[in-house]
Structure 1
Amino acid sequence: MKFNYADEAFETEFEFGKLTISGDEEKGFRPFQLMVSSIAVCGGSVLRKVLVKQRMEVSGLQIEAEVTRDPERANRLTEIRLHYIIEGEQLVESKVAKAVELASKNCPMAQTVIDCVNIEETFEIRKN
């Protein structure tokens, strides 16, 4: 990866397109937003794969993320709370709970920060 600074932001190019990152949210994505997004979407992607492997059909999946930061320590992320809203017809709560646990253990982004950021995961099931 290569990042170039221009107009108060860093930019990089990926296969999908250009990514602009800045401390000013009017100029680009803020670094903490990208970190939280990476952890949330990684966990959600792994969760969906686990649910499909367990033969549970998922018709929708939303992730709500709440973040706690410590202003005394450079606004460091201290906690990320992820709430999965899983939609489907034949979802079994006990199996979904195990799937959430498995997803957390197999998400590389969450495992990268697990020793310094508390990650809490909850879920709810919604029938179609």
Structure 2
Amino acid sequence: MKQKVVIKLSAVHDEKSRAKAMKTAVGVDGVNSASLQQDKGLIEVTGDGVDVVLLTTLLRKSLKHAEVVSVNSVEEKKKEEEKKKEPEAIIQYVMGCPPQYLCPPCPPYEEPGCSIM
């Protein structure tokens, strides 16, 4: 399940702490992307099966303060796009019956007469 996690961080004013936060967030298993909003002090992490507790703990170890703001599931846009697409043309091959060959009729079977009698 793809999910979006928003975590509030403290002290992300200098370049060193921003780089440390991004490196820590991207290092967690399942994270696909991470973005940092510097003015609000938030980091948004998107991924598949992200362990939120582990991510928050690692950010607390590196930056001293991290608080989970929200965890939301992300619906995939591909499903909507697939529904909107028109069905593709289907090529269907029609196979006829196999050719039938006519054989001339066979002569009726006659028992050979006994030449001795």
Flag whether TM exceeds 0.5 (same fold).
no
* TM-score, normalising length: structure 2: 0.40
Higher relative contact order (CA 8 A, sep 6+): 2
Please tell me whether Structure 1 or Structure 2 has the larger radius of gyration of its CA atoms.
Answer: 2
* TM-score, normalising length: structure 1: 0.37
Whichever structure has more strand as a proportion of its residues is 1
Whichever structure has more helix as a proportion of its residues is 1
